[in-house]
Amino acid sequence: MHPEPNTHGDLIDAYLHLTKEVLPALARDPHRDWPVREDHCFQRIVLDTLCGGVWYAHLERPAYKHLTHDQAQRAVDLCHAIAQGRADLRELNQQSLIWRGKGPRAAESR
């Protein structure tokens, strides 16, 4: 198991590892009925959730370079909650799509 990240750089590295590798790998498990599989989708969902809306209305691009320490910690915590089933990925994705004007039906087709 990886040590707990504690510096800002460690948190960013953990966020990127979780969204680019861990969550997409978990999404490939046929027993998980996750609505997304791609790394950029996990990043969209996590960042939108952190920002309470479309992330690029709140953060400069690339987002990971502009996260505060608190935001990076919350992003890592949310990724862990998703991986452990403590956060409802389907609900988080649906809310992200609603913020983007795509609505609940769009969430079901992804």
Segments forming the whole domain that contains residue 92: 8-109
**pLDDT of res. 104:** 62
Residue 3 in any domain: the answer is no
Residue 1 in any domain: the answer is no
Report yes or no on whether pTM surpasses 0.85: yes
Tens of pLDDT along 46-70? 999 999 999 999 999 999 999 999 9
pLDDT, the chain, mean: 92
Taking only Cα atoms into account, the Rg of the chain, rounded to an integer number of angstroms, comes to 13
Residue 2 in any domain: the answer is no
| CA atoms within 13 Å, Cβ hemisphere of 27 | 20
How many Å apart are CA 79 and CA 73, to the nearest integer? Answer: 10
Residue 64 in any domain: the answer is yes
Number of domains into which the chain is organized? 1
**pLDDT of res. 6:** 80
- The label of the residue with tokens 């809306």 reads 53
Residue 95 in any domain: the answer is yes
